[in-house]
Structure formats: structure tokens, C-alpha cells
Amino acid sequence: MPAPKLSGPVVWLLTDNKPGHKNQLRGLAERLEARAEAQLVWVETHKYPVSWARALLGITPAIEHSKPDIIVAAGSQTQKLLLACRKRYDAMTVVLMRPALPFAKPDLSIIPAHDNPPDRPDVLITRGVLNAIKPQEQPGEAQNGLILIGGPSEHYEWDGEAILGQVSTLADEYRDWHWTVTSSRRTPAALLVQLTDIQRNNVTFHHHEKTGPNWLIDTLAETRTTWVSPDSVSMVYEALTAGTSTGLLDLKARNNSRVVRGLESLKADGLVTEWQDRAQLMQAEPGKAPKLWEADRAAEWVIRKFREFHQ
């Protein structure tokens, strides 16, 4: 068994380049770097195709990087390469999801609570998926509000007119606030046109295609209160992680899916506020929002498990 490494582990990040999966990896990776001086290596799995047969035998394509101490993967398309690397290298393996197949079971799994993960020592259960947002260093004092709009989903009945009406209500009821509004890839074209044409002095619309990769991170850092359409679950958790007071725009749930149940648990625990209680949220003091930094908690857990792995 190699000598334990208490800092500076080489961490391979297996990515399928899907934005959501990459954001999860980035969130964990940046905290591993901050907490343990991890050396981060991004590995794009499409460049290293491997069959299940070769994965089971630990036969990997030539990957010209430093030998890994920890290998982290997100997305089902990364599982074959993860298994191949696990067989070949004496590295601790981590997946940010339910493992795809029992025989490919990694050393550690980080799974959001809404996926009903098993209660085991090798599983960390998180509130939502990990993200790359960092909590605000200073609570937002200025009256800056952010409105994050999604689109049709299998979990909520989409109503663009209702969403537009709620944007207008916030702008009218809180005229001394400045409201920044942005869309997502799922936002319908008709609503995009209406948001682009909105005529209000205290509202600025930013089309999602015209925002840079760090736009949301930078904007949340200067935001006091965030309203999110409930279909945009990842954005709900990003707003919470930033430390902003967070509310849910009003859409009717289609069913009692795991996503809906996850948001209901946030309401029950007082982490998010419903639309009808918006006055309470808007009057909240800056910096009083509940803290939720799951990427940092996950990094601390992975580092502890890594040290145990080499004892």
C-alpha cells in the first residue's frame, strides 16, 4: 500500500461535457483544491472510448496525465472509463450519482436526497446536486433582486403568462428594487420575446445565450433575494448556496415526483419561501438566509475518506 498523502492528491475529473454534470464536478473539484491542494485533471471521456469488456479487464486507452489518487465521475456515459481506470490504478473512485451497475460500484457515491439513496457509510446524501456557486463573502445590502426562469418540464405545469405576471408583480410591488431577469435553455420563445420587450425601469432582462460562463456566479454574489421558477431545481440550489434569500415562483406541480418532493422538503425546512409569502421574504434581513454549501461538505467528506482509504 502506498504511503498516505495528506495533501495534494491528483484528482481526475471524468466528464461527458454536459453542462449540468460538469458543474457538479467543478463544484466538488474547486473545494478539493481549496481544502487539500488537489491537483485537478479534466478528462473528457469521449476522447477515450472503452468497451465494457475492456473496462472489466482494466484496459484503458492511453491517458497522458499524472497517475490519479482520486477519480471522480458524473454522468452515466463516464461509468465505463471510470471502471477501467479503477481496475488499472490504485485510486479511490467517486461518482456524483447512483452507480449505473452493481459490478461497477465505486468506492464512494455522492447522491442527492431526492434520488432516495441508500443509507451506507460509502454514500453521502446531499440536498440537491452539487454546484460551483460559493456563498457570498458579504451579504447583499443593496436591493438587488434576481429572477431565474426555466421552462416546460415533466414536474410542473408550465404557464408563461403566469410567470410573466409574477415578474411584473415583483417589479410593481418593489419599485425601489432593481430586478435582473434571466432565462434558460428551456424558456419558450414566446416568453423570451415578452421578457425582451418588458418596459419597466427597474427590470433588466439578460437572455441566457448572451450571458458568460461566470455570469450567474457574479450576479448571485451581488444579489439579496432570488426568485426561481420551481422547474429549475438546480438554480434553486445555486441561489441557496450563494446565500441569497430564495423564493419559488408559483407553478402547479404535475405530480408528486422526486423533484417536487425535494422542493417541498426545502419549504418544510424553511430554506425557500412560497410565492404567497413573498412579503415575508422581501423583508428578510441581508445575510439571514440559511446556509447550504453541499460541495464544501462533500469535499470534506471525500478528503476524510481518502485518508481512511490509505491507512
d(CA 141, CA 122): 41
- Give 47: exposed, middle or buried? Use CB within 10 Å, 0-12, 13-18, 19+: exposed
Q: What's the pLDDT score for residue 57? A: 86
Q: What's the pLDDT score for residue 5? A: 45
Q: What is the mean pLDDT of each run of 10 residues along the chain (311 residues)?
A: 61 95 96 97 94 87 91 93 90 88 81 90 95 86 94 96 97 97 96 93 95 92 96 95 96 93 93 96 83 95 92 72
Q: Which domain holds residue 231?
A: 144-282
Q: What's the pLDDT score for residue 128? A: 92
**Co-location of 15 and 124 in the same domain:** yes
Is residue 2 in some structural domain? no
CB 43 within 8 A of CB 12: yes
**Co-location of 126 and 208 in the same domain:** no
**Co-location of 204 and 254 in the same domain:** yes
Q: What's the pLDDT score for residue 184? A: 95
**Co-location of 123 and 179 in the same domain:** no
Is residue 148 in some structural domain? yes
Question: Considering its fold, how many domains does the chain have in total?
Answer: 2
**Co-location of 180 and 223 in the same domain:** yes
Q: What's the pLDDT score for residue 56? A: 85
CATH number (domain holding residue 51): 3.40.50
CA 226 centroid distance within chain:
16
d(CA 291, CA 124): 18
Q: Quick check: helix, strand or coil at residue 220?
A: helix
CB 74 within 8 A of CB 64: no
Is residue 137 in some structural domain? no
Q: What's the pLDDT score for residue 290? A: 76
Is residue 1 in some structural domain? no
Cell, residue 163: 410567470
d(CA 112, CA 127): 6
**Co-location of 95 and 222 in the same domain:** no
Is residue 290 in some structural domain? no
pTM, entire model:
0.90
CA 121 centroid distance within chain:
23
**Co-location of 116 and 169 in the same domain:** no
Cell, residue 208: 441566457
d(CA 81, CA 87): 10
Is residue 155 in some structural domain? yes
Instruction: List residues bridging with 247 in a β-sheet.
Output: 227, 273
**Co-location of 69 and 120 in the same domain:** yes
Residue 68: count other Cβ atoms within 10 Å of its Cβ. 25
Is residue 121 in some structural domain? yes
Cell, residue 100: 449505473
**Co-location of 72 and 117 in the same domain:** yes
